[in-house]
Amino acid sequence: MIRAQNIALSFDGKTVLTDISVSFAPAKTNLIIGRSGSGKTVLLKCLIGMLEPDKGEVWYDDDQFTAFNPDQQRSFRQQMGVVFQGGALFDSLTVEQNLKLPMDFFTPWKRDQKKERVNFCLEKVDLPGVNRLYPAELSGGMKKRVAIARAIVLNPRYLFCDEPNSGLDPQSAIVIDKLIREITVEFGITTVINTHDMNSVMEIGDHILFLSEGQKCWEGSRDDILLSDNKVLNDFVFASELMKKFI
Amino acid sequence: MKLLLNLGRYLMFLRRVFSRPEKPGIYIKKVLREIDRLGITSLGIVAIISFFIGMVVIIHLTANLGNPLIPDYYNSYTTRDVLVLEFSSTVLCLILAGKVGSNISSEIGTMRVTEQIDALETMGINSASYLAQPKIIGMMIITPALVLLSIFIGLIGGWFISIAGNLMTGADYIHGIRFEFDSYKVFYTVVKSIVFAFLITSISAYHGYTTQGGALEVGRSSTLAVVNSMITILIANYLITQLMLG
């Protein structure tokens, strides 16, 4: 369980997040949605400690993450897996080395055990046999899948994904969505996903937080989202012609 | 005021860089890799520049100090001191600041703007230490070796042109480079090269690490890294010379 309480943050006097409180349950795909610039990524960065909120608290189960010092936060992050928008794979390392890096640092495993874990994670994301390729040799979708494999390599309790299917074709986007959901349920991970893709919302949105101009505007499930009478939410949800057909 | 702010940030960056490594074994492997990547790959340029500078210095000295009252071997003696005291440490490190400094800054800067550094941090790895420490230590180990090699190759360049250009006999040249040899000067140049290596790598890593924005800013950081490394090398050169030889 991840709990954010009254999170507020400003940059140079400009308010980016205002008093956001939300809980994210384990084994569920929790989505943060909203227009570009609504504060989704900033909230995600506050949750993982890459940004320090001006006000508010972040709790991971019984641990108050925001009360930790930077070293404690860094150490705690070993329980997190993060998938960045562009994948953020290390260019100079092969796929296998990318996946091995966190294991080299934080596990006492032998070489064979690491190799086995790498292969397991790559199979999980349906990419067996790409161990020796460099990120530059992978397609956008493959990069995202390798990034997911790297994020789960240490069996994280919490998984964060920043727009995991941005820049992908609709079919690849669905593959990524399903993959994240499968991993979340199978390993009981608390997953938080930033997205503005309505397909993802309808596909995997167990719990949805809608942000608008840095404020919590609506919260509910994918079943509720089409029935909401929140005008700002409806403007966002039914922006496309495809979604208008649901009305 | 901005200078003080940057100095403070640089010192805080160094504090993170030199905090205790999570897994020393990984760092040792990385140091060896950086020695190869930053130092060994610079051997070619060091050899070429040193050889030609050695030749040019002795040609200048012979042309300008040609006097029946000054023995020929004084030219090779002076060439040796030029190479040992200034060229092979200071000038060579200024050249390395351009080659290695821009390489380090652009590499780390690109990692910053493509969120690779954020990825390291979210894994729980001290990114400043993981990225910069092996480069700094690697360069501090390999640069004195490059400088000593540069002196040696520069002296060979001088010897070659002395014979080929009929400037002096080989015996005079050898006598000159052995004349009043003071090993303390070599020690002084090694100390300088270690300090310069630290400055080049740490300043370049700092500029790369603090890059914000996109490709344009990576280029800007790279330029700043080279310029600031060069300026600090010149200041450090004066201070070390004043301290050790003044």
- CATH number where A44 lies: 3.40.50.300
A15 strand-pairing partners: A10
Contact between B34 and B200 (Cβ < 8 Å): no
For position B43, what pLDDT does the model report? 94
- Please name the residues in contact with B213: beta carbons below 8 A apart, sequence gap of 6 or more: B113
- Chain B residues close to A105, C-beta within 8 Å: 22-23, 26, 123-125
pLDDT, average across residues B21-48: 92
Q: Which of A60, A73, A74 to mutate to test the interface with B (most CBs of B within 10 A)?
A: A74
- Beta strands A158-162 and A190-195: pairing type? parallel
* Short-list A196, A208, A237, A180, CA closest to A22: A208
Of A75, A80, A86, the CB nearest to B114: A86
CB contact under 8 A, B125 and A48: no
- Please name the residues in contact with A116: beta carbons below 8 A apart, sequence gap of 6 or more: none
For position A246, what pLDDT does the model report? 62
Return the structure tokens found at B237. 């050169």
CA distance A36 to chain B (A): 18
- Please name the residues in contact with A47: beta carbons below 8 A apart, sequence gap of 6 or more: A2, A4, A58, A160, A192
Q: What angle do CA A91, B113, B211 make, to 5 degrees?
A: 120
For position B70, what pLDDT does the model report? 85
Contact between B79 and B162 (Cβ < 8 Å): no
How far is the C-alpha of B93 from the C-alpha of B40, rounded, in Å? 14
DSSP string, chain B: -HHHHHHHHHHHHHHHHTSPPS-HHHHHHHHHHHIIIIIGGGHHHHHHHHHHHHHHHHHHHHHHH--TTS-THHHHHHHHHHIIIIIIIIIHHHHHIIIIIHHHHHHHHHHHHTTHHHHHHHHT--HHHHHHHHHHHHHHHHHHHHHHHHHHHHHHHHHHHHHHTTSS-HHHHHHHHHTT--HHHHHHHHHHHHHHHHHHHHHHHHHHHT--SSHHHHHHHHHHHHHHHHHHHHHHHHHHHHHHT-
Q: Which of A68, A101, A109 to mutate to test the interface with B (most CBs of B within 10 A)?
A: A101
CB contact under 8 A, A50 and B124: no
Of A50, A75, A91, the CB nearest to B124: A75
For position A148, what pLDDT does the model report? 92
| Lowest model confidence (mean pLDDT) among A220-229, B132-141, B172-181 | A220-229
B125 touches chain A (CB under 8 A): yes
| pLDDT tens-digit map of B208-238 | 999 999 899 999 999 999 999 999 999 999 9
End-to-end CA distance of chain B: 32
A167 touches chain B (CB under 8 A): no
How far is the C-alpha of A186 from the C-alpha of A154, rounded, in Å? 15
Of B118, B119, B124, the CB nearest to A74: B124
Q: Which of A46, A105, A154, A155 to mutate to test the interface with B (most CBs of B within 10 A)?
A: A105
Share above pLDDT 90 across residues of chain B, in percent, rounded to a whole number: 88
For position B127, what pLDDT does the model report? 94
pLDDT, average across residues B8-17: 95
pLDDT, average across residues B76-87: 94
For position A247, what pLDDT does the model report? 60
CB contact under 8 A, B119 and A88: yes
Of A48, A74, A102, the CB nearest to B126: A74
CB contact under 8 A, B23 and A104: yes
Q: What average pLDDT does the structure give for chain A? A: 90
Would you say the C-alpha torsion A181, A185, A186, A187 has a positive or negative sign?
positive
CA atoms within 13 A on the CB side of A208: 25
How far is the C-alpha of B211 from the C-alpha of B216, rounded, in Å? 10
- Regions of chain A short of the pLDDT cut 70: 242-247
Domain count for chain A, please give it.
1
* Short-list B151, B140, B170, B174, CA closest to B17: B140
CB contact under 8 A, B123 and A78: yes
Return the structure tokens found at B29. 């492997």
- Beta strands A29-33 and A207-212: pairing type? parallel
The residue of chain A nearest to residue B111, with distances taken between CA atoms, is A90
CB contact under 8 A, A88 and B123: no
Q: What angle do CA A176, A182, A187 make, to 5 degrees?
A: 130
- What is the complex's ipTM, to 2 decimals? 0.86
* Short-list B42, B101, B95, B93, CA closest to B228: B101
CB contact under 8 A, A91 and B125: no
How far is the C-alpha of A155 from the C-alpha of B68, rounded, in Å? 82
Structural domain harbouring A220:
2-246
Q: Residue A89 — left, alpha, or beta (φ > 0 → left; ψ -120 to 50 → alpha)?
A: beta
Q: What average pLDDT does the structure give for chain B? A: 94
Query: What count of other Cβ atoms lies within 10 Å of the Cβ of residue A54?
Result: 14
Confidence check: pLDDT of B196 > 90: yes
For position B56, what pLDDT does the model report? 96
Chain A stretch 89-108, residues whose beta carbon is closer than 8 A to a beta carbon of chain B: 89-91, 101-102, 104-106
Cα-Cα-Cα-Cα torsion B165, B171, B173, B174, nearest 10 degrees, comes to 140
* Short-list A72, A33, A49, A75, CA closest to A162: A33
Residue A109 one-letter amino acid = W
How far is the C-alpha of A159 from the C-alpha of A31, rounded, in Å? 12
